[in-house]
């Protein structure tokens, strides 16, 4: 059906248009030559739907994360104002409910007359409490209550309650206030991150082997690397995972230009070109990052290269040049405010993510409407968390550079956050505590050695319930983590606690590494403490993003189970091969679509892009000759120590084969791998740099580690005997 949509509605107009498109309607604007079957006129308080008759929809204030106009100004004010001697209750309606009701109205031409669209009333004092703002009353006129009695007769029920509308609004309006209609930025708070649009530009495909969702390249900014991004976003990713991750990184760009005060072409490039998807893997644009680093204090190309990417190429891109001292100094206050705020803001993120954890049972209890709304909301919350976590990571480079100037030496390998305070080490610390209990109790150790993990956990539940209770606590606290944890199709430890129990059993018999003491002056020690504090903020933000990502996974799984029950899809995990709009409104060929994308993902796993490329890429050769005895590889020193041992080349799928005392060799790893590599003799990675997550954890646990070796996972073979020198960044095959 062709629908003419005109006007605006306090932030609900974009959701209305999106919902109509999702349902297959064609949209046109007022004045179009085509005659529409329905016309929708939007305003802040009234929406009119005209077909054979007319439906007049009277709206309560539209409140949620997309609110705009007068409603946003009123409730983002410093104080919530009521009317003296009045009931002071208020009704709201969420933009998701407005969009759904208007789309329903378009599809029901028999709906005519007047209807009120609103939630149940909520006391204004309660609104102020939920927003964390003071409440005052003054003389004035009260807002009338809308009559919503007709909604039930139309078979419509809002999916969002009034308190939920307020909480959703609060998340997106935390970093500003409105005074007399003018926004005032609160620089010590991080703003809500939104996914920016990518404007048309002269771009070209990067490869004939590209995936369906790959990014086109702007030839002015052609240099990309996955050296750092691949540890956070292992690929090839499923479409739903790729969409979520790419949206998060693009939202980070929109956030970064405000923090950095960028203008002109560089501003556009940071928003639109700084992240790309190739072979359904996430890549960072080195040209953009080097150009952005050139305008920040102590964050030139060498800083990005040494600390994050280890890449040897990439220039500063078009129309940019290194900023002068005054230009950099002008940006320093913004950067310092951002850094100083990171502790409080990442604590807020962590508190929110922990409070947002619902579990699978919660999503099973949601109605179809509520589940769809929650998926959209979770998508936006994950995007916001990833954007903030990624921006903190990039700010780390500049901030660490400032500390190194003050220390007159390199510091990035000397930040020790303390494993008890480091979120990325939380699962490993808890696992080691369980392993210590196993090592001290021969009866528990015997059960683990004599039985498979799935059987052992049931026996231990009967024989040692207190031990399994501790295991359950660890899973409840850290079960959102697991190898390849940003890929929604991958299992995590909460899915099968027996997997974590197997790790505990192996760790119980493994030798513990000793963390070497560094000799440094009191001044340098102070600087490294400051750097470690910021590093802890970075890791906490990343953990919050993964917690929310797991909630998105659980909600998608629940919708997948319902679609299987309705015979819309064949397998629950087919949902990961759809993008969000397809998941919420499956196309008629959805089964074929999911199958085709599964086949494409298998192809992209064989035809991988290189880690670094300029302009175009061809699939890298996966089979290369093994390294010979006496030959050496070089990488980036990440954690000191020297060890000789047997190589085990692993992927996320083969990680369970890794045994204590072996040298773990992989292409890349994320935080979900860390319980495994803490019983490694050493860790060698093809990707990474000094501030990658693997390097951080290796230093905290005293594990010799070399990252950024480029080819180690392809030229080393399981069974090789190698010597790893973590201080020199050197790997030598000795047998």
Q: Would 197 be classed as within a structural domain?
A: no
User: Which SS3 state, helix, strand or coil, does residue 733 take?
Assistant: strand
Q: Give the pLDDT of residue 181.
A: 87
CA–centroid distance for 361 within its chain:
23
In a domain, 665, yes or no: yes
How far apart are the C-alpha atoms of 381 and 386, rounded to whole Å? 9
| Predicted local distance difference test score (pLDDT) of residue 210 | 94
Closest CA to 651 of 618, 685, 682, 700: 685
CA–chain centroid gap for 257, Å, is 19
pLDDT in tens, 13-62: 899 999 999 888 998 876 666 778 889 999 888 999 998 889 999 999 99
DSSP 447-487: HHHHS-HHHHHHHHHHH-HHHHHHHHHHHHHHTT--TTTTS
User: Taking each helix axis from N to C terminus, what angle separates 124-131 and 162-172, rounded to the nearest 10 degrees?
Assistant: 40
Identify whether 646 is part of a domain: yes
Give the chain's radius of gyration (CA, Å). Answer: 27
Instruction: Mark which of 185, 215, 243 sits at the end of a domain.
Output: 185
Give me the pLDDT at residue 28, please. Answer: 83
Residue 455 lies in a domain: no
- Of 168, 185, 202, the last residue of a domain is 185
| Helical spans, DSSP H, in 585-629 | 590-606
pLDDT at 409: 60
Q: Give me the pLDDT at residue 326, please.
A: 63
Measure the CA–CA gap between 349 and 364, rounded to whole angstroms.
26
Q: For residue 728, what is the domain's CATH number? A: 3.50.30.10
Structure tokens at 311: 């890449």
The answer to whether residue 14 sits within a structural domain is yes
Tokens of 105: 């109205």
CA separation for the pair 164, 63 (Å, rounded): 9
Residue 555 domain flag: no
d(CA 165, CA 127): 10
Asked whether the beta carbons of 484 and 669 are under 8 A apart, the reply is no
For residue 697, give the H/E element and its range. helix 693-701
* The total number of structural domains that make up the chain: 2
Q: Return the pLDDT at 312.
A: 56
Residues of the chain under the 70 pLDDT cut:
30-33, 297-308, 310-329, 398-399, 402, 404-421, 511, 513-521, 523-525, 528-529, 621-622
The CATH number covering residue 174 comes to 3.40.50.720
Task: Provide the edge-to-edge strand list for the sheet that holds 275-278.
Answer: 275-278, 281-285, 223-225, 612-614
Output phi, psi for 84, to 5 deg.
-60, 135
Q: Which whole-number Å values give the CA distances from 141 to 83, 84, 87, 88, 120, in the listed order?
A: 7, 9, 11, 10, 20
Q: Look up tokens 């005519």; give the residue.
A: 112
Contact criterion met (CB below 8 Å) for 406 and 527: yes
In which domain, by residue range, is 19 found? 2-185
Tell which of 159, 185, 211 closes a domain.
185
Q: Which long-range contacts (CB under 8 A, 24 or more apart) does 659-663 make?
A: 659/506, 660/506, 660/507, 660/509, 660/510, 660/511, 661/510, 661/511, 663/722, 663/724
The confidence score (pLDDT) of residue 116 equals 95
3-state secondary structure of 624: coil
DSSP 702-722: T--EEE--SSHHHH--TT-EE
Q: What is the pLDDT, as a whole number, of residue 130? A: 96
* 324 belongs to a structural domain: no
> Of 195, 164, 548, 64, whose CA–CA distance to 350 is shortest?
548
Answer whether residue 131 is part of any domain.
Answer: yes
The angle formed by the CA atoms of residues 141, 145 and 149, to the nearest 5 degrees, is 165
Do the beta carbons of residue 405 and residue 533 sit within 8 Å? no
pLDDT of residue 143: 81
Q: Rounded to an integer, what distance in angstroms lies between the CA atom of residue 72 and that of residue 676? A: 48
């Amino acid at each position: 059906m062709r629908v003419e949509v005109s006007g605006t509605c306090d932030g609900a107009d974009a959701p209305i248009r999106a919902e109509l498109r999702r349902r297959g309607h064609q949209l046109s604007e007022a004045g179009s030559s085509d005659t529409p079957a329905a016309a929708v006129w939007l305003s802040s308080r009234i929406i009119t739907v005209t077909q054979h008759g007319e439906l007049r929809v009277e709206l309560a204030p539209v409140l949620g994360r997309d609110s705009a106009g007068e409603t946003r100004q009123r409730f983002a004010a410093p104080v919530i104002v009521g009317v003296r001697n009045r009931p002071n209750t208020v009704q709201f309606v969420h933009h998701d409910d407005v969009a759904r009701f208007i789309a329903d109205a378009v599809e029901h031409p028999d709906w005519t007359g007047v209807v009120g669209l609103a939630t149940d009333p909520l006391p204004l004092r309660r609104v102020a409490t939920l927003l964390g703002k003071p409440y005052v009353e003054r003389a004035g006129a009260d807002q009338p209550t809308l009559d919503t009695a007709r909604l039930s007769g139309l078979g419509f029920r809002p999916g969002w309650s009034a308190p939920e509308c307020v909480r959703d609004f609060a998340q997106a309006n935390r970093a500003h206030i409105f005074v007399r209609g003018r926004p005032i930025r609160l620089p010590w708070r991080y703003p809500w991150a939104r996914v920016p649009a990518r404007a048309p530009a002269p771009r070209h495909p990067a490869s004939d082997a590209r995936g369906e969702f790959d990014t086109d390249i702007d030839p002015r900014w052609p240099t990309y690397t996955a050296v750092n991004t691949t540890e956070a976003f292992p690929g090839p990713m499923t479409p739903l995972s790729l969409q979520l991750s790419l949206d998060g990184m693009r939202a980070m760009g929109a956030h970064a230009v405000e923090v950095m005060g960028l203008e002109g072409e560089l501003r556009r490039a940071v928003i639109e070109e700084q992240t790309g998807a190739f072979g359904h893997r996430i890549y960072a644009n080195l040209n953009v990052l080097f150009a952005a680093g050139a305008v920040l204090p102590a964050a030139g190309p060498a800083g990005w290269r040494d600390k994050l990417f280890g890449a040897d190429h990439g220039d500063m891109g078009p129309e940019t040049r290194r900023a002068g001292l005054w230009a950099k100094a002008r940006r320093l206050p913004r950067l310092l405010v951002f850094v100083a705020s990171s502790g409080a803001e990442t604590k807020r993120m962590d508190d929110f993510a922990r409070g947002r954890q619902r579990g699978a049972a919660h999503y099973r209890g949601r109605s179809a409407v509520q589940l769809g709304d929650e998926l959209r909301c979770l998508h936006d919350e994950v995007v916001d968390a990833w954007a903030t976590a990624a921006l903190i990571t990039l700010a780390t480079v500049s901030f660490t550079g400032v500390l190194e100037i003050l220390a007159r030496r390199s510091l990035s390998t000397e930040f020790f956050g303390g494993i008890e305070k480091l979120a990325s080490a939380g699962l490993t610390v808890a696992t080691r505590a369980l392993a210590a209990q196993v090592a001290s109790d021969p009866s528990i150790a015997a059960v683990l050695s004599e039985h498979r993990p799935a059987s052992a956990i049931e026996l231990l539940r009967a024989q040692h319930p207190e031990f399994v209770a501790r295991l359950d606590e660890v899973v409840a606290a850290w079960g959102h983590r697991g190898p390849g944890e940003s890929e929604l199709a991958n299992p995590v430890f909460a899915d099968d606690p027996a997997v974590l129990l197997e790790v505990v059993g192996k760790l119980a018999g493994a030798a513990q590494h000793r963390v070497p003491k560094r000799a440094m002056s009191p001044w340098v020690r102070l600087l490294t403490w400051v750097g470690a504090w910021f590093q802890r903020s970075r890791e906490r933000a990343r953990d919050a993003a993964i917690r929310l990502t797991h909630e998105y996974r659980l909600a998608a799984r629940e919708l997948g189970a319902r679609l299987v029950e309705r015979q819309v899809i064949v397998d629950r995990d087919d949902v990961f091969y759809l993008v969000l709009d397809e998941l919420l409104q499956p196309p008629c060929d959805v089964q074929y679509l999911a199958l085709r994308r599964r086949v494409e993902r298998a192809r992209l796993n064989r035809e991988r892009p290189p880690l670094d490329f300029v302009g175009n890429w061809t699939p890298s050769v996966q089979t290369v000759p093994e390294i010979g005895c006496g030959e050496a590889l070089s990488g980036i020193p990440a954690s000191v120590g020297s060890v000789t041992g047997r190589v085990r080349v692993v992927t996320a799928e083969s990680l369970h084969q890794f045994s204590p005392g072996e040298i773990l060799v992989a292409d890349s790893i994320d935080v979900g791998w860390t319980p495994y590599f803490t019983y490694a003799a050493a860790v060698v990675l093809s990707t990474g740099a000094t501030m990658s997550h693997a390097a951080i954890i290796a230093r905290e646990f005293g594990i010799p580690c070399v990252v950024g070796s480029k080819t180690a996972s392809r030229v080393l073979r399981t069974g090789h005997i190698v010597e790893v020198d973590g201080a020199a960044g050197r790997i030598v095959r000795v047998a």
